[in-house]
């Protein structure tokens, strides 16, 4: 019941704040103007991340957490939102943006939230001095994965809600109430924002909001899976499979085309779906279903034995290959799995 109360409070605060931030963004010039690379046709306010952070922070303070880690999340969130606002306003160079992301990641690290060991097959491996760079790499990777998938109205927000729900559910099974509460409060803030962000959007996340969601998800994924084993390493990756797949194949696509890895294009998963004839809203909902598929698989993986986990991972690899081939994410005419399926279907047809 208390969990529902926190969800409702953060949702209502977010819902109330959004019209204020829509007005304020327009008044003070924090709007995203359309161009050839973007899908919107008129200037849209982009301070959604600030409103989400305020809603989240109030919700956390109302919950009166005992653990001190909430300070790391809020302080780091403030840093990443500031970096994001500067980037939204002045279009920072990738190097400067990366420095800002690292600075934000160092906040939770300073509070002791890091990957310091792993226990594959019961053998404990200490990372020692590598713990900090490995943790920063993990956080920066998730921050950029969420930021990269933020290409359609409501997309990054919905995918983040699904990811947070999965992490929250697994932490309930672990008895980690603090992380579960953090997830619930952020879900409420995101839902309030989504009312105004779903197509046609009245306000955007902006880089400030997308990076904030990525940052908090990266932190709670570390806090939720403190006892890192070989299998548990896959949980956050599978939960966030949609943005990770998009990020990986975007990098691969740009490498093969001999262009900068940070050069923006219109070949992401959501663009591919629209090229296939799906509308804006249909593309977003379809990606929601894909994200739900991976998130559900992560929960099943958590509850599975080692042999069951291997089977699930193999099925997920096959599913990923089918998605990549069906949407042509890699810009290749070779589609071995789909071609094989077509041949089988053709032989079975009368």
Is 155 domain-assigned?
A: yes
Is 346 domain-assigned?
A: no
Is 179 domain-assigned?
A: yes
Residue 23: C-alpha distances to residues 17, 48, 56, 90, 312 (Å): 10, 12, 20, 21, 47
Range of the domain at 88: 2-300
Q: Which of 292, 39, 8, 274 is nearest to 159 (CA)?
A: 292
**Cα 313 to the chain's mean position, in Å?**
20
Structure confidence by residue, pLDDT tens digits, 72-120: 999 999 999 999 999 999 889 989 999 999 999 999 999 988 887 776 5
**Does pTM surpass 0.85?**
yes
Tokens 């653990």: give the residue: 67
Where does the chain have alpha helices with state H? 2-28, 48-63, 69-90, 94-110, 131-149, 155-174, 177-197, 206-224, 234-239, 241-256, 269-275, 280-303, 306-327, 336-348
Is 248 domain-assigned?
A: yes
Helix (H, G, I), strand (E, B) or coil at 66: coil
CB burial readout 76-106, b (16+ within 10 A) else e: bbbbbbebbbbbbeeebeeeebbebbbebbb
Is 87 domain-assigned?
A: yes
Is 165 domain-assigned?
A: yes
Residues counted in the chain? 350
Spell out the residues 6+ positions from residue 88 whose beta carbon is closer than 8 angstroms to its own. Answer: 30, 32, 46, 206, 207, 208
Query: Tell me, what's the pLDDT at 39?
Result: 62
Query: Tell me, what's the pLDDT at 121?
Result: 57
Is 126 domain-assigned?
A: yes
Written as six digits, the tokens of 312 are 């699930």
Query: Tell me, what's the pLDDT at 262?
Result: 63
Residue 44: C-alpha distances to residues 14, 32, 182 (Å): 18, 5, 29
Under 8 Å between Cβ of 233 and 118: yes
207 is in an annotated binding site: yes
Is 162 domain-assigned?
A: yes
Spell out the residues 6+ positions from residue 307 whose beta carbon is closer than 8 angstroms to its own. Answer: none
Instruction: Give me the average pLDDT of each 10-residue run along the chain (350 residues).
Output: 90 96 91 69 87 96 86 96 94 93 96 78 75 92 90 92 92 88 96 94 93 95 67 74 84 75 70 85 92 91 81 89 84 76 76
Under 8 Å between Cβ of 291 and 284: no
Q: How far apart (Å, rounded) are the C-alpha atoms in residues 61 and 55?
A: 10
Q: What is the DSSP string of 262-292?
A: T---S-SHHHHHHHTT--HHHHHHHHHHHHH
Query: What is the CB neighbour count within 10 angstroms for residue 347?
Result: 7
Structural domain count of the chain: 1
Partnered with residue 45 across adjacent β-strands are: 31
Q: Which of 89, 78, 8 is nearest to 49 (CA)?
A: 78
């Amino acid at each position: 019941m208390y969990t529902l109360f926190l969800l409702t409070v953060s949702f209502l605060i977010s819902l109330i704040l959004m019209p204020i931030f829509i007005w304020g963004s327009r008044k003070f010039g924090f709007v995203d103007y359309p161009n050839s690379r973007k899908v919107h046709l008129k200037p849209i306010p982009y301070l959604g991340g600030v409103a989400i952070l305020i809603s989240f922070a109030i919700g956390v303070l109302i919950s009166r957490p005992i653990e001190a880690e909430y300070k790391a999340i809020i302080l780091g969130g403030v840093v990443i939102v500031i970096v994001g606002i500067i980037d939204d306003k002045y279009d920072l160079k990738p190097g400067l943006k990366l420095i800002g992301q690292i600075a934000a990641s160092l906040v939770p690290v300073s509070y002791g939230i890091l990957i310091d060991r792993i226990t594959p097959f019961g053998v404990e491996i200490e990372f020692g001095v590598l713990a900090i760079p490995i943790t920063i790499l993990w956080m920066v990777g998730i921050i950029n994965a969420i930021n990269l998938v933020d290409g359609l109205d409501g997309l990054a927000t919905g995918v983040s809600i699904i990811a947070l729900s999965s992490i929250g559910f697994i932490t309930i099974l672990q008895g980690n109430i603090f992380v579960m509460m953090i997830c619930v409060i952020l879900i409420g803030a995101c839902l309030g924002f989504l009312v105004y962000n779903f197509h046609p959007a009245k306000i955007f996340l902006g880089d400030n909001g997308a990076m904030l969601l990525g940052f908090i998800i990266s932190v709670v994924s570390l806090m939720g899976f403190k006892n890192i084993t070989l299998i548990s390493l896959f949980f956050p990756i599978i939960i966030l499979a949609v943005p990770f797949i998009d990020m990986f194949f975007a990098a691969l696509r740009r490498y093969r085309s001999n262009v900068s890895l940070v050069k923006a294009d219109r070949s992401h998963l959501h663009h591919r779906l629209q090229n296939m004839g799906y509308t804006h809203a249909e593309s977003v909902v379809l990606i929601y279903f894909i994200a739900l598929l991976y998130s559900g698989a992560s929960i099943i993986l958590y509850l599975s034995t080692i042999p069951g986990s291997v089977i699930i991972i193999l099925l997920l690899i096959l599913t990923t290959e089918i998605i990549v081939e069906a949407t042509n994410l890699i810009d290749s005419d070779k589609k071995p799995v789909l071609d094989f399926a077509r041949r089988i279907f053709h032989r079975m047809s009368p």
